[in-house]
């Protein structure tokens, strides 16, 4: 019989059992009181560090001064002078040189700045007349002739007051950094002993190598900045004086300071010198521009590598990134400190034997074996010695090893 089943016959019959609700497990996050206290303390420390940024910068500056002057102190000490007397002689000489430089240059600098302000209308008219000769520069020449300083001065009065306060703060912080550096240099042995006391003796060699490299980086960077800036100022002064350009000392002092600033030093050193020379004659401006361009090339290609030597050892891409990061975070001060900070980070990666992804494991093993051998020798030589004398031995061993490595790397 061809019987057909009714529609829905294969479906399951409804159950008479009650439906049971399925509860998904819930994830409960409980913050322990100790964790909350730790988070609050961490936030407080971060806030405190943010408030203490000027003090930290003073400390960093003082350490940089100590690292720069320490080789000079050691040189005087090697010539038969006691360390305390050598420190006093070096720092007193530095202070006298700074006072003499300010005393000899500041009155003449102020006089030339006032003279330059009085000559500003005449210089502006000469520049406008020169630009008016060219068709595309006529709007700029007209804007120079119609330039009014009243609204500009009224709008920038608050900025001038803020800048004056900032200059006073920089001077005060600079004096504080100088005397802090003097105290650190005097108490250097005890401070080094205290630092070595909190580090296991088996790590003293590594710590001494880090401190030695920090001194090389910081000292080389500051000496390089001072030498290149001084050379830039002297060159601008001689060039403008030889060309008969007035206010040469003012432009030279500005160029020496501007040479420290990264990125914009090229513009800030050439443009003012060329504009002042342009007020004298077009030929003079061309001569100044050509010679300034040649000196900038000489400084970047010859002088800077010669002066800095192997102190920083940073690739060009890292230099650019460090300058951008430092300038973005802390402005000019951050840009100035970015290169030694970046060089210090690279040095720490190398000295702490941090394994990088592309580095050969064999090279790491060889360096670690050298470190272990040196540390065993140090522990044997300093057994029973107090920490200050042991620290002096660690520095001696690290200096000897560094000299040997530098000799091996020379071509």
Residues 6+ apart with CB under 8 A from 392: none
Q: How far is CA 354 from CA 152, 171, 351, 367, in A?
A: 55, 40, 8, 11
Give the pair of three-digit tokens for residue 111: 């006089």
The DSSP string of 84-152 is: HHHHHHHHHHHHHHHHHHHHHHHHHHHHHHHHHHHTHHHHHHHHHHHHTTSGGGHHHHHHHHT--SHHH
Phi/psi-derived region of residue 309, left when phi > 0, alpha when psi is between -120 and 50, beta in every other case: left
Q: What is the pLDDT of residues 26-54, one digit of tens each?
A: 656 666 777 777 788 888 887 887 777 77
0.85 exceeded by pTM: no
Examine the pLDDT at 238 and tell me if it is beyond 90.
yes
pLDDT at 250: 80
Distance CA 122, CA 113 (A): 15
- Give the tens place of pLDDT for each residue, 65-110: 887 788 888 888 888 888 888 888 888 988 888 888 778 777 776 7
Query: How far out from the chain centre does Cα 255 lie?
Result: 19
């Amino acid at each position: 019989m061809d019987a057909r089943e009714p529609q829905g016959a294969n479906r399951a019959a409804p159950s008479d059992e009650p439906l049971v609700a399925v509860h998904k497990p819930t994830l409960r996050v409980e913050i322990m009181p100790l964790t909350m206290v730790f988070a609050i303390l961490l936030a407080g420390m971060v806030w405190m560090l943010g408030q203490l940024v000027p003090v930290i910068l003073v400390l960093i500056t003082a350490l940089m001064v100590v690292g720069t002057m320490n080789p000079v102190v050691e040189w005087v000490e090697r010539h038969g002078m006691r360390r305390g007397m050598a420190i006093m002689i070096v720092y007193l000489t530095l202070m006298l040189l700074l006072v003499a430089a300010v005393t000899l240059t500041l009155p003449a600098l102020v006089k030339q700045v006032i003279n330059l302000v009085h000559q500003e209308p005449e210089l502006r008219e000469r520049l406008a007349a020169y630009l008016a000769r060219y068709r595309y520069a006529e709007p700029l020449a007209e804007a120079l002739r119609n330039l009014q300083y009243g609204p500009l001065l009224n709008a920038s009065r608050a900025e001038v007051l803020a800048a004056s306060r900032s200059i006073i703060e920089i001077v005060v912080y600079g004096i504080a950094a100088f005397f802090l550096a003097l105290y650190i240099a005097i108490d250097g042995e005890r401070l080094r002993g205290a630092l070595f006391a909190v580090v296991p003796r088996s790590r003293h060699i590594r710590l001494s190598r880090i401190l030695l490299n920090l001194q090389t980086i910081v000292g080389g960077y500051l000496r390089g900045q001072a030498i290149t800036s001084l050379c830039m100022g002297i060159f601008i002064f001689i060039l403008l004086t030889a060309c008969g350009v007035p206010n040469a000392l003012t432009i030279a002092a500005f160029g020496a300071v501007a040479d420290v600033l990264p990125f914009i030093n090229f513009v800030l050193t050439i443009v003012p010198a060329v504009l002042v020379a342009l007020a004298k004659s077009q030929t003079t401006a061309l001569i100044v521009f050509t010679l300034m361009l040649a000196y900038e090339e000489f400084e970047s290609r010859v002088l800077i590598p010669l002066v800095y030597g192997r102190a920083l050892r940073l690739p060009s891409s890292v230099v650019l990134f460090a300058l951008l990061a430092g300038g973005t975070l802390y402005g000019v001060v951050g840009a100035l400190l970015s290169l030694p900070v970046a060089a210090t980070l690279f040095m720490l990666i190398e000295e702490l034997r941090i394994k990088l992804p592309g580095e050969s494991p064999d090279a790491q093993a060889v360096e670690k074996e050298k470190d272990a051998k040196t540390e065993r020798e140090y522990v044997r030589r300093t057994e029973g010695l107090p920490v200050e004398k042991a620290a002096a031995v660690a520095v001696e061993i690290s200096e000897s090893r560094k000299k040997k490595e530098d000799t091996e790397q020379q071509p």
